[in-house]
Structure 1
Amino acid sequence: MIAVLGECVADSFASRPPADAHPGGLALRVLPGGGPANTAVALARLGTAARFLGRISGDVFGRMISEHLASSGVDLSAAVAAGEPSTLAVAALDDAGRAAYTFYADGTADWQWTPHELGLQRLGPATCLHTGSMALVREPGRTAVEAFARKAAGHATISIDPNVRPTFAARDDYQVTRWCEWTDILKLSDDDLAFLQPGVPVERACDTWHAAGARLIVVTRGAAGALVSLDGERAAVRAREVEVVDTVGAGDAFTAGLLHSLGTKGLLGGRLDRLDLATAVAAAEFAALVSALTCAVAGANPPWSGQLTAPRTPPPLRPRRTPPSPAGC
């Protein structure tokens, strides 16, 4: 089992209403979202037992999210029934299908964690805890979330995705180097890296975070694929080719694919001591497929295990190994 701790958000997408509607208005299509919730859904659909540790509102959006999680096979027994409203995100898609979000998040359910709500028993039998995203940077709950993850590190592999949202939190809120003290897997995008470490080469950033404690770092690069770095030994992974509808949830699907692959090989539950670069690359290649199939449909709608066939698959790419960067370079 993999436990996922974090937010569940109502993602809304604006469009022009029909011509006979009120002039000058917008129509909103609302779908279940939130990075951690998306990851839990993708894990469950791939066949990994997934437990969602979230604060789920009882409002109309929360009920929609609960139904979505449950229908995908996610275990909600450790979720909190929250009295606060759901977080609402309004997404605007650019021509490449990338989303920019405006968040309506003041006083909403996702950020109200207390230490009492996050006792270690919520982890249950999970061999891995995945967290990050906005729940790890938003007060008042961020302190409780980080404390829980630190405690869980004594019992499970810890995975973090910062999932940076510049309109939601400042750079200093993303304490990635400190998080790496108790994190085994760090997954982030090239956009995350540019925000967190502007102007810093990816190899140097990886080496900094390896030195802080993270063993496996994967940086996704959209159509350019991904960089896998295991204790400073690195390889490139090619992206899968699909017709992109939008990229909503693609990073979360990648994370799920990565963790699912590592879990099926029995590598989760400790500090990744038996993981080698070839296995990490194979896991990232599988994750790239899951991510690509998510990009091929609208919204955060990751594939089920029976749908893991890409429309177009390039020939296998031999991993390109690069030596670790010298310290300080």
Structure 2
Amino acid sequence: MDAIVPPCHREAMTTHTFPTGRNPHPDNTERPDAVEVLRYSAFTTDPAGGNPAGVVLDAASLGDARMLALAAEVGYSETAFVTAHDHAARRYRLRYFSPRAEVAFCGHATIATAVALASRTGTGELLFDTPAGEIRVGTGLVDGLVRATLTSVPARSRPAEDTTEVEPALRALRWTRDDLDDALPPHIAFAGNDHLVLGVRIRARLAALDYDFDALHDLMRDRGWTTVHLVHRVSPDRLDFDARDPFPVGGVVEDPATGAAAAAFGGYLRTLGLVSQPLRVHLRQGEDMGRPSDLYVDLHPDDPRARVTGTAVPLPAPAAPAPAPGR
């Protein structure tokens, strides 16, 4: 199925009692049916790059259908909704919707929400209760911009099943096994939701991505994958990667920056035995679709969690449609 959140995950978000209240900040907003929607681009310092996300800071009165409709109206891969808050404790209940379904966890919308909140309430640590679990986000100012670091739930991975996962994915991607990098075996990686990780041998194959949308959508829906995380290692002596993330189950062809997949990729690298000391991984994503993004993943051999760092910058609300000409 699409990355719809099971009811048990929703119940897990109700363990903290949140005081009621409304957020009064109107800047960088649009007001479809009086709902304030902020727009940010995450994992970039340039509004022309990164991954756009919608952020609704006061969604306490919105039902599931309304949040899904708003996410479809905004049209980004995800929109985050703050459904409850405790400003004194800097704790917030957060849900994520793609244009098609609720998603258990979304990294770039988490970064965008953290930057939006820190810009209004001051930098420091924030705590998000999400359907995937508790997510801590540290925020601070760097060169005048708010930078956020999310700490994922414990990340892990397992080898992908050959006949039911790898082969149909390759068919949908129009790839062959010769395209794969033997040093990066196919895995299903998790850090809040599942992602198929495929390492490609030649950068040009990644650049030429042209996949069967419907076939990959159906496979991902059947297997419960949120994205397919396609990576190319820039150099064998560095943990720098180029990445692309098809996201047909979310209703978009590709995600230009995927924090959830980056965190899951950290668990993948640990499973492969590549995390013997504290290290930072750099993922360059969105380059091939004209929205370059930089994601930094910090890993420690004694901690199964991944820390994903990025900035986010505000985007202008779309212009209102011109009034119809009078008669």
Above 0.5 in TM-score? Answer: no
Structure number with higher helix proportion = 1
Structure number with higher relative contact order (C-alpha < 8 Å, ≥ 6 residues apart): 2
TM-score w.r.t. the length of structure 2 is: 0.29
